[in-house]
Amino acid sequence: MAENTNDCEELNQYLTFVLDDEEYGVPILTVRGIQGWEKTTPIPNSPDYIRGIINLRGEIVPIVDLRRRFNLEEVPYGPHTVVIVVRVGQGEKQRTVGLVVDAVADVHDINSEDIRSTPDFGEKINNEFVRGLGLIDEKLVIILEIDQLIDWRKVPVDNQVESVAQSSNESAVVEQAETEAA
């Protein structure tokens, strides 16, 4: 399993998609499928970027709205809105997650030498989600660090929602709320 990422890097192929007029890429071997947007079941007490859960061939899979995750302006879901199902994490901690994006773009070969390190984005997009910037001719593709999209260590709690069940993770909750407020 550990070679998974290595293989991806060797293959250098990326599935790209559009989000707010920018092109983003994920390693193609992490992609398990692409499907249209369907209604989700919302999860109580979760961050707002988690749209909910869906049934993916008998598995319960959480759906992440990337616009919300990157604090981009929200747009209504249209006919091009798709969910890219990816496998994140390594080894036994692998999880399947769906990403809501504006539209699927292309598949590109990007050599590792063509991937630049990340400049500081300021507040628009958090740096930790970006692995690097890929250059294809004159076009720029933002390569995502998909493992970082959901912070698994923290129990996600929408800070606007009253915490109902008093979990032992309250400190983590507060921390999360503070990070989000910042």
**Interacting residues with other proteins between 59 and 78 (CB under 8 A):** 59-62
**Interacting residues with other proteins between 9 and 28 (CB under 8 A):** none
Binding mask 124-163 for other proteins (x = CB under 8 A): --------------------------x-x--xx-x--xxx
Which residues fall within 8 angstroms of residue 70, CB to CB, at 6 or more apart? 19, 20, 124, 125, 126, 129
CB of 72 to other proteins, least distance (A): 21
Name the nearest CA neighbour of 150 among 77, 83, 99, 104.
Answer: 99
Binding of other proteins by 55 (CB under 8 A):
yes
Binding of other proteins by 91 (CB under 8 A):
no
CB of 160 to other proteins, least distance (A): 8
Span near other proteins by CB under 8 A; candidates 66-74, 95-103, 122-130, 140-148: 95-103
Binding of other proteins by 46 (CB under 8 A):
yes
Which residues fall within 8 angstroms of residue 34, CB to CB, at 6 or more apart? 82, 83, 84, 85, 104
Cross-strand pairs, 115: 134
DSSP conformation class of 27: E
C-alpha atoms less than 13 angstroms from C-alpha of 103 in its C-beta half-sphere = 8
Dihedral angle over CA of 100, 68, 172, 131, nearest 10: 70
Which residues here bind other proteins, judged by CB under 8 A? 1, 3-4, 7, 39-46, 50, 52-55, 57-62, 95-97, 150, 152, 155-156, 158, 161-167
